[in-house]
């Protein structure tokens, strides 16, 4: 029996970059958080900085449709010296709502820079240790 | 409740204490909302929400706590949050300024003591 592509999660690792593809469904947000936490831990970051990465990934994935229950999200985690950068892209998904004031305040406080394009279903953020 | 979180309700010195353990995010927020609001709606007086066992919460969970505080305050009831120091939960709650409208305590015993203090009832 072939597995439905909407129920699979795959990771691909290349030098300096990890890619994670997950269904755009709320129960996979934890996987996105775990992956970025691992990237931060391998880079030797503090618990607080790793927590910041988890928060940012979670909020931005939600903003590009992680709650939709349809479509997929592709995340690319890149380590560059003292900086970790994460790119997210949604495919065939729909954001449940534009990120509110609370979410934006949280994201802005935990990363050094971020771009979010809700129409294009993309985000990028960078954080330096 | 799906996997990541567990809500238990107990009573200490007659004060309802809602303990929220695990991770609260978009995947379980509606179940957590139901589990937290049910005792909040049923009771009277003060409500203590113990977040010392909470290991993650996102902006939807912060919104839930704001909503809960507003709902209780509209009914002339009080709410106190029990939050550990130096945790992701405390950091998120302070970032979103929840501490400006809801008092934090370090332990459930402290929160219950504040709730039981008759001099605080009218404050």
Q: Residue A7: its pLDDT value, please?
A: 65
> Is the pLDDT reported for residue B123 higher than 90?
no
CA distance A75 to A91: 11
Given the DSSP bridges, would you call strands B78-82 and B54-57 parallel, antiparallel or unpaired? unpaired
Q: How many pairs of residues across A and B have Cβ atoms under 8 Å apart? A: 51
> Is the four-CA dihedral B36, B38, B39, B40 of positive or negative sign?
positive
H helices present in B2-107, as ranges: 29-42, 59-74, 88-95
Q: Residue B117: its pLDDT value, please?
A: 83
Q: Would the pTM count as exceeding 0.95?
A: no
Q: Least CB-CB distance to B59: which of A29, A33, A59?
A: A59
Contacting residues of A for B25, CB less than 8 Å apart: 26, 29-30, 58
| Residue ranges of chain B whose CB lies within 8 Å of a chain A CB | 2-4, 23, 25-28, 56, 58-60, 62-63, 88, 91-92, 95-96
CB A112 within 8 A of CB A126: yes
Q: Residue A13: its pLDDT value, please?
A: 53
pLDDT tens series, chain A, 129 aa: 444 445 677 765 545 799 999 999 999 999 999 999 999 999 999 999 999 999 999 999 999 999 888 999 999 999 998 999 999 999 999 988 888 888 999 999 999 999 999 999 999 999 999
Reference A73, options A92, A52, A59; nearest CA is A92
Residues B11-24: tens digit of each pLDDT: 999 999 999 999 99
Q: Residue A6: its pLDDT value, please?
A: 54
> A8: how many CB neighbours lie within 10 A of its CB?
11
Q: Residue B44: its pLDDT value, please?
A: 75
Residue-range domain boundaries for chain A: 9-128
Torsion angles phi and psi, residue B77, rounded to 5: -110, 165
CA distance B15 to chain A (A): 30
CB B13 within 8 A of CB B32: no
CA distance A58 to A110: 12
Q: A105 and B96 in contact by Cβ < 8 A?
A: yes
Q: Least CB-CB distance to B95: which of A27, A54, A106?
A: A106
> Of chain A residues 31-60, which have a CB less than 8 A from chain B?
33, 48, 51, 54-55, 58-59
Domain A9-128: which CATH class? alpha beta
Torsion angles phi and psi, residue B114, rounded to 5: -65, -40
Domains of chain B: 5-120 (3.30.750.24)
Q: Cα–Cα distances in Å, from B19 out to A69, B30, B99, B108?
A: 29, 16, 18, 10
């Amino acid at each position: 029996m072939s597995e439905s592509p909407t129920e699979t999660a795959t990771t691909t690792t290349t030098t300096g970059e990890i890619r994670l593809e997950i269904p755009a469904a709320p129960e996979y947000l934890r996987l996105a958080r775990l992956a970025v936490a691992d990237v931060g831990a391998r880079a030797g970051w503090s618990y607080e900085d790793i927590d910041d990465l988890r928060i940012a990934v979670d909020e931005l994935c939600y903003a590009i449709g992680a709650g939709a229950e349809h479509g997929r999200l592709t995340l690319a985690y890149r380590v560059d010296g003292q900086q970790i950068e994460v790119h997210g892209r949604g495919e065939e998904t729909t954001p449940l709502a534009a990120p509110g004031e609370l979410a934006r305040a949280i994201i802005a406080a935990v990363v050094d820079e971020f771009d979010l394009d809700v129409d294009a279903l993309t985000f990028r953020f960078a954080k330096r240790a | 409740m799906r996997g990541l979180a567990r809500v238990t309700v107990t009573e200490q010195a007659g004060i309802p204490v809602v303990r929220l353990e695990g991770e609260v995010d978009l995947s379980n927020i509606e179940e957590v909302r139901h589990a937290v609001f049910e005792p909040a709606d049923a009771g009277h007086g003060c409500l203590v929400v113990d977040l010392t066992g909470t290991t993650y919460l996102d902006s939807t969970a912060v919104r839930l706590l704001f909503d809960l505080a507003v709902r209780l305050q509209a009914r002339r009831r009080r709410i106190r949050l029990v939050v550990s120091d130096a945790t992701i939960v405390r950091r998120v709650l302070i970032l979103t300024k929840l501490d400006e409208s809801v008092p934090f305590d370090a332990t459930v015993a402290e929160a219950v003591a504040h709730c039981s203090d008759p001099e605080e009832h009218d404050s």
